Structure 1
């Protein structure tokens, strides 16, 4: 399975890459954390605990307090694939997060990134 290696990757290895991406584009790292909290239901303490425990991406999403019901509003292309068309639920959550990180790095407005209903 194509995603197996990714699924076993520690979130603690991926998070700094997200930070670098956002930082490199001169965006606020706090916004990165906000989108992670929004998508997963983690808060600052529980996110840090997951990083410290070196959980895999699979465990990170399996143990997430609640995937935001508005996550299905995340659409677009990431890694050449439309996120709304990904059939594997775990891969879709990973790509949702990738898409949100991209949007933070691009400086999109937070209300748009968090799919605020009008």
Structure 2
């Protein structure tokens, strides 16, 4: 949930354009996640050209804004620095992990 919250928050506030490396994801994982957010109706105007995409023109839908409002408890712990996002999202990873080790 924290990754989704962060991606939507940064797109909405336009502090920076989120990318895969901000969250420790591969480019493909990040693109699939953005596509998921778009298909679920949280995000619109994701620019796609051939195999690449851009979040610069993207914006939140009403549903995306509502998700941010409904999860405003994250504001208290949200990192001030972009470089701290990976650590911040680890809480969800540890919380929802089944204890399996990555190969």
Question: Under TM normalisation by the shorter chain, which class is it?
Answer: 0.3 to 0.5
Greater share of residues in helix = 1
Q: Tell which has more relative contact order, 1 or 2 (C-alpha 8 A, sep 6+).
A: 1
Greater share of residues in strand = 2
What TM-score, normalized to structure 1?
0.30
What TM-score, normalized to structure 2?
0.32
